[in-house]
Amino acid sequence: MSLKQFLQFKLSQKLSPQQIQLMKLIQLPTQAFEQRLKQELEENPALDTGKEADASDDNLDEFDNSSDDFNDNETIDADDINVDEYLSDDEIPDYRTHANNYSADDDEKSVPYAAGTSFTQHLTNQLNTFRLSEQDEEIAYFLVGSVDESGYIRRSLSDITDDLAFTQNVYTTEEEVEKVLEVVHQLDPAGVGARNLQECLSIQLNRKEQNPDVELASNIINKAFEQFTKKHYEKLMHKFSINEAQLRDAIEEIERLNPKPGGSYAGNNKIVEHIVPDFAIKIVDGELTLTLNGRNAPELHVSREYNNMLKGYKDSKQKSKAQKDAVLFIKQKLDAAKWFIEAVRQRQQTLFVTMSSIMHYQKDYFLTGDERKLRPMILKDIADEIEMDVSTVSRVANSKYVDTPYGTKLIKEFFSESMTNDQGEEVSTREIKKILETVIEYENKKKPLTDEALSKILKDKGYPIARRTVAKYREQLDIPVARLRKEL
């Protein structure tokens, strides 16, 4: 076998670094975009904010993407870098003067967090009111530390016993740990430290003032929990020799209990996720108006300090190699700054054009708020209308929200597949789900409708879908099966 050397020419498509940067920026929601912006400002000293100097759109279009600009072996002269291509005397970047760039979310809003006692510390403070031996006290503290945010201890006693021996040097038995666990069960809120839902409800019922309804509820939880969770009410009435009214009263007592006692702690400093809408849609004089969150159009400029450095290089008569190396570094940073500013401008334009198309496509919904008026819409419908790639529309719709007169909505929820009704018209699956949800809401709770019955009702309304499709839509709506929807 001989080795041969030959040349081969072929065409290939590759994304440029600028295109990759733009695609990454487009898919970022407002808050993530702000973080990315801060990162770029930290990494590139040539990029700046404020009103010292601006990067104009006209000059950005003249930018040369040639990779020759980054050839370290190239000799750089002052004439090779035209500062005017990067800087202008305008006070405000062009893209900031475009319409619909501002919204009520422009102002910085800091989220205050109340300082207070943590849930674990709240339980630990209560333990100090009990008289325990030194070992029992260590076990109790360890148990409290094992309580999760819902108020449960999810680990088995055998695992806790082993951990006590290995990490705390406390050698004990499961029986001793369970005895200390009974002390933890006396802490507030009631039900804390339970190992499962059944134990949690039982602890709360034992803490309530005893009466016939509470005693019956306690017996149901302790002796017939499985039948209760499966809503086998006839079996419960037969097992405890009670009538329907007595069972209803007992179930009402159980429904008043808290299945997650940890969530009721008022001092719990849990950080809540806050959504910043990327768009806002309003109805003005019967017409829809779209605004892009102003945070998506920040003021970005090339640093004036770099301008002065370039001017100093241009004015100097003798140019050393170190100065040329510095100018090459400056030129690279200026080019990177221009790329980023252009990517931000294109991101803003792409977001607005895409959302505007979605708004007009679903105009009937945005004017009324009736989900039954949502048209079937897939990514390709919008991509064809705005003449962009489907992947670009997907990046815009992903993880972004729009503020509407009917609440803040996730954009990708407006996309849905279609099906044909009995009249040959294409309708959105969202419309069918809404009708299914309404039918279940007004059903007879004593005799909930099965999936087969729901399928027949939808067919009578002009939506011929199979039972398994009804089951799929019901699961997507997080609605349980008929047996678990049953009420007395």
| Domains recognised in the chain with CATH numbers | 15-111+274-415 (no CATH), 119-264 (no CATH), 420-485 (1.10.10.60)
Stretch among 92-106, 244-258, 270-284 having the lowest mean pLDDT: 92-106
Decide: 286 and 109 in contact? Cβ < 8 Å: no
Cα(319)–Cα(313) distance, integer angstroms: 7
pLDDT band for position 72 (50/70/90)? very low
pLDDT at residue 292 greater than cutoff 70: yes
pLDDT at residue 12 greater than cutoff 80: no
For 378-421, the pLDDT digits (tens) are: 888 898 998 888 888 888 888 889 999 988 888 888 887 666 66
C-alpha closest to that of 53 among 348, 296, 293, 311? 311
Residue 106: the pLDDT is 47
> Which is higher by pLDDT, 286 or 423?
286
> Which is higher by pLDDT, 167 or 315?
167
Residue 418: the pLDDT is 66
The listed range with the strongest mean pLDDT (38-47, 78-87, 344-353) is 344-353
Residue 293: the pLDDT is 84
For 206-233, the pLDDT digits (tens) are: 888 888 888 888 998 888 888 888 888 8
Instruction: Give me the mean pLDDT over the 255-268 stretch.
Output: 75
Residue 325: the pLDDT is 75
Residue 356: the pLDDT is 92
In order of 22, 121, 218, 297, the CA distances from 333 in angstroms are 18, 51, 72, 21
Residue 359: the pLDDT is 92
Return the axis-axis angle of helices 379-386 and 390-397, rounded to nearest 10°.
Answer: 110
C-alpha closest to that of 338 among 84, 106, 140, 150? 84
pLDDT band for position 318 (50/70/90)? low
Residue 54: the pLDDT is 43
pLDDT band for position 357 (50/70/90)? very high
C-alpha closest to that of 152 among 113, 194, 190? 194
For 109-147, the pLDDT digits (tens) are: 555 555 556 788 888 888 888 888 888 888 888 888 888
Decide: 139 and 164 in contact? Cβ < 8 Å: yes
> Which is higher by pLDDT, 314 or 181?
181
Instruction: Give me the mean pLDDT over the 255-262 stretch.
Output: 86
Residue 464: the pLDDT is 83
Cα(394)–Cα(376) distance, integer angstroms: 16
Residue 115: the pLDDT is 54
For 463-473, the pLDDT digits (tens) are: 788 888 888 88
pLDDT at residue 322 greater than cutoff 50: yes
Residue 177 CA neighbour count, 13 Å, CB half: 24
Decide: 309 and 330 in contact? Cβ < 8 Å: yes
